[in-house]
Amino acid sequence: MNKTLITGGSGFIGHHMVEYMLEKTDAELVIMDRLDFSGNLNRLTAIPSWEKNKNRVSFVWHDLKAEINPLIKNKLGKINTILHLAAGSHVDRSIDDPMSFVMDNVVGTCNLLNYARNNDSLEKFVYFSTDEVFGPAPEGINYKEWDRYNSGNPYSASKAGAEELCLGFNNTYKIPMMITHCMNVFGERQHPEKFIPSTIKKIRDGQEVIIHANQNLSRAGSRYYIHARNVCDAVNFLLNNGVNGEKYNIVGEREIDNLSLATMIANIMNKPLIHKMVDFHSSRPGHDLRYALDGSKLQAMGWQMEKNLEKSLETVITWSLENESWLMI
């Protein structure tokens, strides 16, 4: 039986990965987390299939800023697959405190890689990176996996640095490594600071939604949003079909600007949208107006999303309004 280590497994995407692996595979799972700002064990116990499958899951508390010492290594046991999701991931916080993101994302990844290169049972290592390493995308440009990087803030720079470490360890130590670039992920039990849960809450409460736009406020920022479930499905597809040493973009169904997305959310909720357009860079230096990746590589391999954007949004909105404690901050 495969034994999979999921770092950051009580985080937002991480716990969705745990849920997916419990439902779709027979793998034994080990969650490594330090339970800080992003980690929340209540996410795990809220997984519908948790009670039935929790005997397949073990938990190891560890902060990856420290090396994986022999005691922690012994607790992990023989690991066959590593899914490295643990990371500092909030742009605003990275601008306030860049060193903490270097420690979490660069040093933390290096400590995990050092463990991986001495693990004789390792078969797969997947590093979760981000679309933000490429920086802002001009209109008409969708970046491919091996295009140049142009990080716009300390968060994306730290993720790019960790990516290069992964490639260096793959080339030097032959770690069976794949790298994914995910676009904007949403889903159930996401932290309410993120755009979609924040917008659901503000529309529910009749509050103003801030939409970041270009300098003359004529165009809202745009993204390719994708549900966490689709991300997990893509990762599982790559575990079975991906090539070591390669990078893969995991891209949402289509590009949508944030004003259109907020309007879609309001329409699904059958409530009015109160919004204000603001100059994105003046209000949020270090943020980019448009991110865009080319997802044709993964699609050409045969991967298709389980649910489209509208269906995914409807599911998340209904769930959020029925589980309002997850909208509180």
Catalytic positions are 131-132, 155
Three state DSSP letters for 129-186? EEHHHHCCCCCCCCECCCCCCCCCCHHHHHHHHHHHHHHHHHHHHCCCEEEEEECEEE
Residue 279, strand partner residues: 213
Query: What's the maximum distance between 2 C-alpha atoms anywhere in the chain?
Result: 58
Tokens representing residue 225 in the block: 């949003």
